[in-house]
Structure 1
Amino acid sequence: MDFTISAEHQQLRTTLREFFEAEAPIDEVARFDRDEEFNSELYRKAAGLGLCGMGFGEEYGGSDADQISICIAVEEVARASAALAYAWLPTATFCAKGIARFGTDEQKKEILPKVADGTVRIAMGLSEPEAGSDLTHLSTRAVRDGDDFVINGQKVFTTGADTADYIFAFVRTDPDASASKGLSVLLIPKGTEGVTVQPLRKLAGQATHTCEVFLHDVRVPKENLVGELGRGSSIIFGLMDAERIYVGAEGTGLGQGALDMALKYARERVQFGKPIIEHQAVAHMLADMAMDVQTSRLITWQAAWKLEQGLDCTMEASMAKVHGSEAGTRCAGRGMQILGGYSYMVEYGMERYWRETKLYEIAGGTNQIMRNMIAKQLGRRGL
């Protein structure tokens, strides 16, 4: 057992930390969120570092990065900007990876190199008004009509749909089959007739809009089917362990950002004649934050290692998601307390972490659903 981070992993963290501190300072991130304007230049520059090609191989312009590298990248992106994470993660680590694993050769050749260079983004269309955790209630329909599919329905929480080039849409292609056999995935190109996208107002990461998508007689060619007809569930479940690990890494990154900010403030802020880090109440909160970040990182990396080895990691991925997201929330809350009144000020940045953390207890499967999964796995194989 070796807990030493490799030189390559350390260099990746250093490179990304320096890049985001230069290119995504607190005031710039706050400005784009305030104006609800997507920072396409930051996304393009991040792609130039290789971030957008981490989920697939070099033959398509990617790097086929190992899972620890992806977790490090996710931490640093989450620490810098939720809006960037909302645009990057669905594109690079879910949709593009889904195309790489399940798509046709033509889809891979056409789309993946453009994902890698940052010129194509993909929004994930899974949730619906009446279907979130419960996939059996997905009702968006796609009916075969000659060489096309005709799609009707509605998606919600489709983040980035208004500026993405494709929607990676989960649709019901067999209304009489079970959820495990009746779902398929279709790529819906930007600007397709019958697609209406409505941005929603939200709490955090406003620079990347979360959208409602209405699909009325939307026609896409049969070549846009990703994977086998009726096997969409296998795509979802084939990617979900990784997604939940990355959510754990997002929580870790937010916790690390809150800790870094709180620690800097506590060293500089003087009250009652000494820096507040020397007051035990503050020191204990910082210690708790450090323990949360470290345990979150370790449990996430363990799950990532198992995923890399091809081992069953559903329980570990669920644990990483729950612990990482809740650790991030706790760290942001303690950071708010340490900064006191200044925590409410946008220019300090702590309030952004506080707003951003809550999503990760919900997205990727609520933490209550995750606890059910952990308990089920315990019953099946133990710890």
Structure 2
Amino acid sequence: MSFIETDEQKQLRESVAGLASRYGYVDYVLPRARRGEPLTELWDEAGKAGFLGVNLPEEYGGGGAGIYELALVQEELAAKGAGLLLVVVSPAICGTIIGKYGTAAQKDSWLPGLADGSRKMAFGITEPDAGSNSHRITTTARRDGDEWLLRGSKVFISGVDQADAVLIVARTEDHRTGKLKPALFIVPTDAEAFTARPMAMDIIEPDHQFTLFLDDVRLPADALVGSEDAALMQLFAGLNPERILGAAMAVGVGRYALDAATAYARERAVWDVPIGAHQGIAHPLAQVKIELELAKLMMQKAAVLYDSGDDGGAAEAANMAKYAAAEASIRALDQAIQTHGGGGLSEEYGLAAMLGAARIARVAPVSREMILNFVSQHSLHLPRSY
């Protein structure tokens, strides 16, 4: 395993950074976020450049690379303050699952659009009464002749207003055992009996969260992704990339905050010297740099393990990466605000507005407490606590 990036990966970083720098956080992202508008122009341009589908198969218009490269794209976007939340969802989760387990028709229908960004797919797993316990999902799918009927609800589903469909995690009944088993269905957002209601969130973000209601949504037989019996495996094929991309976004946000803080610390002078010359400013920023680099290494390790097919190793590393990146990102942003003093709370720099969004990384897509549970049980082999 080598973390020395290839020339192609370095060029990809440079190209993505160049694109993101033409948009930027203060001039483009933050004004759009304050108006509750998606980053459509950035998304479209990133799609046309091939960045959004870099992990998807070449025969469907993708780049034929891996989750490592998609994480690289997300990190560089976020490092300019222009991270795209739906990169985590559409190409990383949904594109990966369909690419691995979808039928030929599903791949033909969805992967080219997911690769060039012309189509988007949201992902629906979280439920009001399930939360972190996905085993308690109650959204059910039952057969009605050759069709399926889906009934249930979902909550905190990102970007449904931008999506053409939602990949819904439901449960089918095993008639032999009477138990409910997970299954994945592609549900068009314009389907009859499908309702999406915006959730009132107290953070400044360009992407909205939704509560979904499925009141016997009728779907054709080919809406089922892959095999009923393989759904759990299919689900985890998407959740590890979700954690890796979430970590990449958090690392990028941390880099943005650290760059803003160090630039200010070099320029702002008090008592005739730049404030960065004082250890009270310099040392916390140095600590942030170390923590971000460590989180980035774990994120890279997780991506390499995933792309190599080591699902067990990738699961452990992806959870650790997501935990470490979230903590480092929040600390970086908080220290950037502190470095700017009162200016850190002003609209001029936009750092305070970013803090709420960065805080999401501690609770989604999986909380830090559940990550600690995972590490305790699977890495340390301690008794399960829940």
**TM-score, length of structure 2 as denominator length:** 0.93
Task: State how 1:105-120 maps to structure 2 within 5 Å.
Answer: 105-120=104-119
Q: State the secondary structure of the residue aligned to 2:52.
A: helix
Q: State the secondary structure of the residue aligned to 1:68.
A: helix
Q: Distance in 2 between matches of 1:178 and 1:33?
A: 48
Deviation at 1:379, TM superposition (A): 3.5
**Compared with structure 1, are the counterparts of its residues 3 and 208 closer, same or farther at alpha carbon in structure 2 (3 Å cutoff)?**
closer
Q: What amino acid maps onto 2:76 in structure 1?
A: E
Deviation at 1:225, TM superposition (A): 0.5
**TM-score, length of structure 1 as denominator length:** 0.93
Task: State how 1:168-187 maps to structure 2 within 5 Å.
Answer: 168-174=167-173, 182-187=181-186
- Partner residue of 2:32? 32
- Report if the CA contact (8 A) 2:169-2:183 is conserved: yes
- Partner residue of 2:155? 156
Task: State how 1:69-148 maps to structure 2 within 5 Å.
Answer: 69-81=69-81, 85-148=84-147
Deviation at 1:333, TM superposition (A): 1.0
Q: Distance in 1 between matches of 2:198 and 2:84?
A: 17
Deviation at 1:141, TM superposition (A): 1.5
Task: State how 1:306-345 maps to structure 2 within 5 Å.
Answer: 306-311=305-310, 312-313=312-313, 314-345=315-346
- Partner residue of 2:358? 357
Task: State how 1:1-383 maps to structure 2 within 5 Å.
Answer: 2-81=2-81, 85-174=84-173, 182-204=181-203, 206-311=205-310, 312-313=312-313, 314-380=315-381
Q: Distance in 1 between matches of 2:381 and 2:309?
A: 19
Identify which range, 179-188 or 340-349, moves more after superposition.
179-188
Identify which range, 25-34 or 219-228, moves more after superposition.
25-34
Q: State the secondary structure of the residue aligned to 1:152.
A: strand
**Compared with structure 1, are the counterparts of its residues 270 and 177 closer, same or farther at alpha carbon in structure 2 (3 Å cutoff)?**
farther
Deviation at 1:11, TM superposition (A): 1.6
**Compared with structure 1, are the counterparts of its residues 177 and 267 closer, same or farther at alpha carbon in structure 2 (3 Å cutoff)?**
farther
- Report if the CA contact (8 A) 2:193-2:216 is conserved: yes
How many equivalent residue pairs? Answer: 380
Q: Distance in 2 between matches of 1:276 and 1:332?
A: 18
Alignment RMSD (CA, Å): 2.1
- Report if the CA contact (8 A) 1:75-1:250 is conserved: yes
Q: Unmatched 5+ residue regions in structure 1? A: none
- Report if the CA contact (8 A) 2:265-2:276 is conserved: yes
Deviation at 1:187, TM superposition (A): 0.5
- Report if the CA contact (8 A) 2:174-2:180 is conserved: no
**Compared with structure 1, are the counterparts of its residues 159 and 226 closer, same or farther at alpha carbon in structure 2 (3 Å cutoff)?**
same
Q: Deviations over 1:227-285 (max 9, x none)?
A: 11243222112222222222222221111111011011111111121111111101112
Q: Distance in 1 between matches of 2:362 and 2:135?
A: 22
Deviation at 1:297, TM superposition (A): 1.0
Q: State the secondary structure of the residue aligned to 1:128.
A: coil
Q: Distance in 1 between matches of 2:242 and 2:87?
A: 12
Q: What amino acid maps onto 1:73 in structure 2?
A: V
**Compared with structure 1, are the counterparts of its residues 180 and 80 closer, same or farther at alpha carbon in structure 2 (3 Å cutoff)?**
farther
**Compared with structure 1, are the counterparts of its residues 246 and 25 closer, same or farther at alpha carbon in structure 2 (3 Å cutoff)?**
closer
Deviation at 1:115, TM superposition (A): 1.2
Q: Deviations over 1:292-343 (max 9, x none)?
A: 1111111211222222222232222211111111111111111111111111
Identical counterparts, % of pairs: 31
**Compared with structure 1, are the counterparts of its residues 177 and 278 closer, same or farther at alpha carbon in structure 2 (3 Å cutoff)?**
farther
